[in-house]
Amino acid sequence: EVQLVESGGGLVQPGRSLRLSCAASGFTYDEYAMHWVRQAPGKGLEWVSGVTWNSDTTVYADSVQGRFTISRDNARTSLYLQMNSLRAEDTALYYCVKDISTTISGDLAFGVWGQGTMVTVS
Amino acid sequence: SYELTQPPSVSVSPGQTATIPCSGDKLGNKYACWYQQKPGQSPVLVIYQDTKRPSGIPERFSGSNSGNTATLIISGTQAMDEADYYCQAWDRSTVVFGTGTKVTVL
């Protein structure tokens, strides 16, 4: 069974940092691009960042560019999101998401989602 | 920045067809995906690359994309289809989600 389990969320003060982790299992992890998508309480979906299968390309939403860093460890089948200079508007449920492809391009789609980890900046 | 616009809500009677539009500039030149999200649950991919259904998604879900509008069609809508639906596309190295549509099965 394909599983994505996020951890690392919590309550943090504005300006501080937090690191999210995602443990993947049930599929060949190094064959897929991975992403983080967030959802503020009662709001819609917002893509945050993505990384290709071999980490040669990382992409970010304008809202987090320069503050957040995505990374992956294929040996540990894990995905990470380092979040610095956190703001109140970063408060959201953060989902770890598996792409349907190895690369990040126009035909991407988010095939599997974790349950999310909540980040509250206050 | 690129925007995808959806109606806030769509109502449909059981057994009827629900049509959910997603509008964006020249969206037909890009691939569109659709996600279903039920309350308290994570989103689920129901359509990708405009018209393809992932395994396990019922045949009553279909999609199209042309001009400035992508459309999700739910034929023979069931009570279990009541959910929020989001379209998604890729533009200039950024993933864009639509504003979301709440589908109510009356």
pLDDT digits (tens, 9 = 90+) for B9-65: 999 999 999 999 999 999 999 999 999 999 999 999 999 999 999 999 999 999 999
Mutation pick from B3, B6, B35, B42 vs chain A, by most beta carbons of A within 10 Å, is B42
A95-to-B8, B43, B63 alpha-carbon distances in Å: 23, 10, 25
Residue in A45, A106, A107 closest to B43 by CB: A45
Residues of B in contact with A59 (CB under 8 A): 93-94
pLDDT digits (tens, 9 = 90+) for A11-43: 999 999 999 999 999 999 999 999 999 999 999
Amino acid identity at A17: S
Q: Which of A44, A49, A70, A72 is nearest to A61 (CA)?
A: A49
Residues of B in contact with A46 (CB under 8 A): 97
